Structure 1
């Protein structure tokens, strides 16, 4: 841990510009390498031998957490919900500076509701803590893996899974920072927040700095600090049914 001490320090970074526009996160794509020009002794299977149910080729996507720019802090948030009858639900989040150092982290159990509401609760809790600990003079990047919530807050979609009052509170909290950005990250790049969600079932709390964070969380913080890349694991999801989609297909 001694070598990682710089990532857990307290100093802030720079002063944000109120007109700073952040680019969307980028991901590395690794397609299949080109075929060798030398002849092969093994015949290649013909396309007719492939099963009709075979999934089309998808390139590997490598996901890496990125620190915010100078003058900003980044809040990564997540919500956890178990539908196994246990009634377990939790929220977690971490605020880091432009050098990837942990400023504030939280892990708390919450009421078992819906995924959308739990994710929004995590975002609200993180923004409130940022204000409470006097981070309002810095720009805010709020990053989560709930694409529906992110698209709603970015005004890219009207579909919502949260009540209007929660949406309005989030917008109000974001407006208290001199500059703000809400963006999506794949869950593979949101592993610190996810680890905090799971830690909440054994150890709830709010941490200033990373000195007393649960060990499983510290491991993920170290991975992000060293720029570890994670391969994106795609899971098939059922199509979303709402009025906007129905109008397109009807």
Structure 2
């Protein structure tokens, strides 16, 4: 098992939500690989991003280069499973996304000792749920 990689946000500036989700998936996998994790569950709250990243359709589209980068990451010697999670089921990701909005443009790593981050990690680990209004 690798060492703890902490948490990160990347403020991309102005971009689509789908692009941000795809970029987060790529950055997350890059960091997981860097820190030695070889069994990874990648949970995304965007079914659109999941469909784009896992599609067998190789037609060029606006995210084609990012999809290729994602697929190259998957070809490394590791096990990665991609699945959907509702935003309410991953409060850590929601917390970090909100932090990213107020961060300067670029990549930022947060220590796991951040009080807000620690609270939401515990919330997720304990499986505390929240009602989703549809």
Q: From 102, 111, 120, give the equivalent of 1:220.
A: 120
For 1:207 and 1:229, locate their aligned partners in 2 and report how far apart those are by CA, in whole Å: 25
| TM-score, length basis structure 1 | 0.46
User: Is 1:170 the counterpart of 2:73 in the alignment?
Assistant: no
RCO comparison, higher one (Cα < 8 Å, 6+): 2
Q: From 186, 195, 204, give the equivalent of 2:86.
A: 186
- Secondary structure at the aligned position of 2:67 is classed as helix
Say how many residue pairs are matched.
130
What does residue 31 of structure 1 align with? none
| TM-score, length basis structure 2 | 0.80
Contact 2:41 2:83 in 1 (8 A): yes
What does residue 44 of structure 2 align with? 144
For 2:92 and 2:57, locate their aligned partners in 1 and report how far apart those are by CA, in whole Å: 27
Cα 1:188–1:155 shift into 2, 3 Å: same
| CA deviation map 1:40-87 (0-9, x unaligned) | xxxxxxxxxxxxxxxxxxxxxxxxxxxxxxxxxxxxxxxxxxxxxxxx
What does residue 205 of structure 1 align with? 108
| CA deviation map 1:104-139 (0-9, x unaligned) | 31022112111111111111111111122222xx21
Higher Rg: 1
Contact 2:39 2:80 in 1 (8 A): yes
In structure 2, runs of 5+ residues without a counterpart are none
For 2:7 and 2:61, locate their aligned partners in 1 and report how far apart those are by CA, in whole Å: 25
Cα 1:182–1:157 shift into 2, 3 Å: farther
What does residue 120 of structure 1 align with? 22
What's the C-alpha RMSD, in Å, of the aligned pairs?
Answer: 2.8
For 2:20 and 2:28, locate their aligned partners in 1 and report how far apart those are by CA, in whole Å: 12
